Structure 1
């Protein structure tokens, strides 16, 4: 990877105490001002998560995410190592982890733009991370959320799945997912063979549920943090 090329990172933070959960919740609205001033950060989003296994209409007030697209890895490293905001995230949380990724395949838009420049060739044998994001038309909300529980159950304990969570900027309306897999074959086996997932894809195309949507595959190449017992969900596959 060229030192000057763009990369994407996503970090997750798990909070336990009520004061820390409240602080994490407030950052959904407050952190944007500080992030907008970070040198080399081209695109950023604070993200809430869903309850249960992460795919739920109900929020999880204990887990939040930070998505960033950087001019280069050096800019990301400076933020993670030296910025006061990220230091406070780490101090307040009970567990955290970050994965560094290169975008390999993408289509769609996020708030009118494609934020993830393609920087590497797609290799089906490598570990793969997937981000999906959509803005749902209000009149289709009940149809969309009716399918979430069976799709959520269908992804649990799937072969090759290292981590998955439902995330979003705005409850109910602006929804995203992040998943990390051992390789593309196992990821596509789920995506195209799960009857519930296939049904959502079919109805999305036929009924036009989304005002805007985006899909991107990444190759993760580095991970750091302590999510559980000193490891990250990707520690065995990404170093």
Structure 2
């Protein structure tokens, strides 16, 4: 099913309203197979201090378009990314929301999504391991946008990153030394009680790309 990522920027005076929408969001809608409402972070540190209280997101798997008028009414900017799953491994809330797509390639922009539920006893060691990876990510060739996502203030977190193409995403994931070290350490460290990694082709981006933390100017519209 089609996947969409919706991202909103709200003014500081509407942060309370946004948090109420998060708390009482209606997940079940006609045609919606999976939905998560998410807080976000700057993507600099991916720890508790990284939260961005003026930006919120919704990830939706649905059979048709889904509108969010309540969120649109308090936002000063928004963006929507239409996605096609290319690969997905792991579970989210015990589900495989993007199915089991056959491995596929994309010639255009790609989006990487990571999501993990940390073991409480392992959270501190995880956060200590992340800053070097975040610095590598910020300098990675081909990175167009990045931000953190979370379902809760602590321990339920992930990342969204948009790349110029799949080769540059792969170059970061498997060739950068700090990121490779964290991947190698993960099985023994047992940081995660649940984890998911997914890769998507970016079919279309609409709205204000600045909401996504876009890093480059003059990109061609998709």
Given the two structures, how large is their TM-score scaled by the length of structure 1?
Answer: 0.83
Residues 1:147 and 2:116 aligned together: no
- C-alpha deviations, 1:17-61, integer Å up to 9, x for none? 32x111112222111x2x31x211110011111246472322211
Corresponding residue of 2:72: 90
SS in 1 for 2:48: coil
Q: Distance in 1 between matches of 2:84 and 2:195?
A: 20
Count of equivalent residues: 219
SS in 2 for 1:170: coil
- C-alpha deviations, 1:127-184, integer Å up to 9, x for none? 2111111111111111101122222222114221111111110222111111111111
Q: Distance in 1 between matches of 2:111 and 2:74?
A: 27
SS in 1 for 2:123: helix
Whether the 8 Å contact between 1:102 and 1:119 is mirrored in structure 2 is no
Corresponding residue of 1:9: 4
Q: Distance in 1 between matches of 2:213 and 2:57?
A: 14
SS in 2 for 1:115: coil
| Among 212, 219, 222, the residue aligned to 1:236 | 219
| Among 40, 49, 55, the residue aligned to 1:49 | 40
Corresponding residue of 2:97: 115
- Larger RCO of the pair (alpha carbons < 8 Å, separation 6+): 2
Pair 1:191–1:39, CA change in 2 (3 A):
same
Mapping 1:191-210, distance limit 5 Å: 191-210=173-192
Q: Distance in 2 between matches of 1:111 and 1:9?
A: 18
Pair 1:207–1:119, CA change in 2 (3 A):
closer
Displacement of 1:113 in angstroms is: 1.3
Q: Unaligned regions of 5+ residues in structure 2, if any?
A: none
Corresponding residue of 1:83: none
Q: Distance in 1 between matches of 2:43 and 2:196?
A: 24
Q: Distance in 1 between matches of 2:62 and 2:85?
A: 12
SS in 1 for 2:80: strand
- C-alpha deviations, 1:46-86, integer Å up to 9, x for none? 11112464723222111111110112xxx22xx23xxxxx1
Q: What is the aligned-residue RMSD (CA, Å)?
A: 2.3
Q: Distance in 2 between matches of 1:190 and 1:13?
A: 27
Displacement of 1:232 in angstroms is: 9.0
Displacement of 1:114 in angstroms is: 0.5
Displacement of 1:112 in angstroms is: 1.1
Decide which moves more: 215-224 or 55-64.
55-64
SS in 2 for 1:126: coil
Whether the 8 Å contact between 1:9 and 1:67 is mirrored in structure 2 is yes
